[in-house]
Amino acid sequence: MTNYLALLRHIRKHPQSFQSNHFRGNAGLYAEAASRGHITALENGANKGRWMISDSGLTFLYSNGGA
C-alpha cells in the first residue's frame, strides 16, 4: 500500500506522460490505479496523453493518510 500511495502522491505533483520512465518502471501500479479510477488521462473528456490523479484518487489519498 505504501508504494501505491507514493505513486498517487507523485502523480498528483507531477502528472506523467504515457512514455515517461516513471510510468515504465511502475507500469503495474499505474494499471492498478487506472483500473480503480484513481488516475485518469482524460480532462474535459479529451485524452491529454498524461496520467493525472482523479477526484477519486485524491479522496483515496486523503482517507489513507497519504496527502
Write down the pLDDT at residue 1: 79
Q: How many domains does the chain have?
A: 1
67 CA to centre of own chain: 13
Q: Which three cell numbers stand for residue 31?
A: 494499471
Per residue in 4-63, pLDDT (tens digit) is: 999 999 999 999 998 899 888 999 999 999 999 999 999 999 999 999 999 999 999 999
Q: Which domain holds residue 11?
A: 2-63
Write down the pLDDT at residue 41: 95
Write down the pLDDT at residue 67: 67
**Could you give the maximum distance between any two Cα atoms of the chain, in Å?**
31
Q: What is the CATH number of the domain that holds 45?
A: 1.10.10
Q: How many CB atoms lie within 10 A of CB 57?
A: 23
Cβ contact 17:53 at 8 Å? no
